[in-house]
Chains A and B, each alone.
Chain A
């Protein structure tokens, strides 16, 4: 592999055009970005560590990458702003304050659950000098819908994940193709709709999975779900077109569609959000002579410029102070504080994605993250789940 060029793989939402230009401008070496959809990126990370230097993806996928031996430890001593990192749910490294109990049950994969490399080479929350992934951006996700359509369909408030399975939206509903996020959402949906008795949406038993997929397969066969999306771009095409009026959606897609002038509402479901955390890992195949470049890239991500770019599509950052310095007060107030926009605000894809006076659904950064019900996760029965999921996807293919 070329030793003077850093190769980064990730999805289009973190490795977006603005970020790539900023990296080219700020860093003294060449970086090659390879954009993949979420599922493919995770697969590449697991199966082909020799094909990249840096893996920019979801924290929950660490369970698979670390076990597969595809990544090497990140030394926290080489991260300049390590002591300023704050993780969602008040679970900053080393800080005891979790939002609920400390038991890793009922939450899916919280970022701190898999952050540190333990002495026995497993991943855990006890502080050590080595981490599996540098935490960068995160968010509280839900779904978006056309408010006019909802009113027309007579859907009852409050917003609920159960809407994903509600017959009212038949044929007009979309989901992500990533099972680690979608099954959590669908488990919340099915439980809320009273269709299944699921104890923990972040840890489905075989019986839960079978019951859930019976419901999903029936809906898939009758065409309840329109197409499913693999990338943010796919979801933008689907949700901005006539075919879908309700769908699980990432916030960059939501704000991109808003930037097109479409009226779309992002839900704050009564059951709570699905949380996720992203970060950067070093390939197991990263040669020692490229380590310096790799750490320079990791440190740059916490410098404020990437964080401001992430903020303009609705994402939070693990180190906030430099982000604040790179946003206007109006931007900070809207994106992080949940206050009404004091001005029209720019997005990444359009000059205005938020109109003056608008307020972010769910409130401030703190309020939204506190309302995370479950984090995206690789469940204990992941292998069984994934094979049922692929079967579900194949029903309409």
Chain B
């Protein structure tokens, strides 16, 4: 199952332009990829390996890096927004303000691939990140675990360096921590973690929604509204999958174009409350999710009609309301046995 997640997530990324169906656990991966590419390109620009005037094209960069076009497109958009590159009419982008200078495929290959292993390494950690992050999140309600770095590497047939890179990324998202003995620890998710992160979500997400509201794709919002309406209509027969796709869009894809990277990573770090319903729904009915669906419908409606402030208030209310239910569901998870543990995890308690 985990490998399936990786595949589907890759596919989503290849197919998907910005907003599309995406699993919440995988969203971080996708965003990491475009950010890695952005960082790589920025570094090449800064060190003048891409001198001013270099023409950068989405397609050829994607081919050289062996990734899909979507994350490259997004990386280029970011650099454009930052003012590092400018648009060339239908010809991709141009570095700086100098006169355009085409770059040969061979030179591009040298710069992007031969002179750098950054993206190669990133692509490797990228390959297993979603799976490891899924294992970590699914373990959180069940106890405290230690992750063995070397075993993680063995299990995924990657070097210890790559395993460590994955773990650092997980720590960056506050999914794991390092203890005094420098062991990687998955701490047990507590009710107070849920309360604290929901309080942060109340502060961050309505604000983020305000930032991205005007750049949201109307067609995408329309499709989302339709899917929510269908899920409400069919409730509860639509099942948990439709619901989870909608939540991934509401809470991940929605903020994907947020320019404030600090805010975006804070949001990602504080979304552990979304893990609880996902695990809950694997075993128990979705009866209590209908009010949330109706709230999502209202939020999307107001985004579509431009009443952003109303959408923000509704989002705040939703996050406030969901606390009690999330905590109650976490208590119900007490009846579940821990999932079969990955070989690189050791239960501490």
Taking beta carbons and an 8 Å cutoff, which residues of A are in contact with B? 43, 46-47, 63-64, 67-69, 120-122, 205-206, 284, 378, 380-388, 391
The reply to whether A67 and B332 form a contact with Cβ atoms under 8 Å apart is: yes
The reply to whether A206 and B190 form a contact with Cβ atoms under 8 Å apart is: yes
Q: A64-B332, A383-B330 are in contact. Are A391 and B191 (CB under 8 A)?
A: no
The reply to whether A67 and B328 form a contact with Cβ atoms under 8 Å apart is: yes
Q: A64-B335, A381-B190, A381-B192 are in contact. Are A387 and B142 (CB under 8 A)?
A: yes
The reply to whether A383 and B191 form a contact with Cβ atoms under 8 Å apart is: yes
The 10 lowest CB-CB distance pairs between A and B, nearest first, are A69-B285, A383-B334, A67-B328, A386-B334, A382-B331, A380-B191, A68-B284, A381-B191, A69-B287, A68-B332
* B206 beta carbon closer than 8 Å to chain A: no
Which residues of chain A are within 8 angstroms of B188 by Cβ–Cβ distance? Answer: 384, 387
0/1 string, B315-349, CB within 8 A of A gives 1: 00000000011011111111100000000000001
8 Å CB interface, B185-210 against A? 188-192
Which residues of chain B are within 8 angstroms of A122 by Cβ–Cβ distance? Answer: 324-325
The reply to whether B335 and A46 form a contact with Cβ atoms under 8 Å apart is: yes
The reply to whether B334 and A387 form a contact with Cβ atoms under 8 Å apart is: yes
* B288 beta carbon closer than 8 Å to chain A: yes
Which residues of chain A are within 8 angstroms of B333 by Cβ–Cβ distance? Answer: 383
Q: Which residue of A lies closest to B336 (CB)?
A: A47
The reply to whether B324 and A380 form a contact with Cβ atoms under 8 Å apart is: no
Supply 25 A–B pairs (Cβ within 8 Å), ascending by A.
A63-B328, A64-B331, A67-B284, A67-B288, A67-B328, A68-B285, A68-B335, A69-B284, A69-B285, A69-B288, A121-B288, A122-B324, A284-B285, A380-B331, A381-B191, A383-B141, A383-B191, A383-B331, A384-B191, A385-B334, A386-B334, A387-B143, A387-B349, A388-B349, A391-B349
* B102 beta carbon closer than 8 Å to chain A: no
From the candidates B288, B325, B327, B335, name the one contacting A47 in the complex (CB within 8 A). Answer: B335
Total contacts A-B at CB 8 Å:
66
Which of under 10, 10 to 19, 20 to 34, or 35 or more describes the interface residues of B?
A: 20 to 34
Q: Which residue of B lies closest to A391 (CB)?
A: B349
Q: Which residue of A lies closest to B188 (CB)?
A: A384
Q: Which residue of A lies closest to B338 (CB)?
A: A387
The reply to whether B335 and A43 form a contact with Cβ atoms under 8 Å apart is: yes
Measured in the bound complex, the distance between the Cα atoms of B285 and A120 in whole Å is: 17
Which residues of chain A are within 8 angstroms of B327 by Cβ–Cβ distance? Answer: 380
Chain B nearest Cβ from A9, distance in angstroms:
15
Q: Which residue of B lies closest to A386 (CB)?
A: B334
Chain B nearest Cβ from A284, distance in angstroms:
8
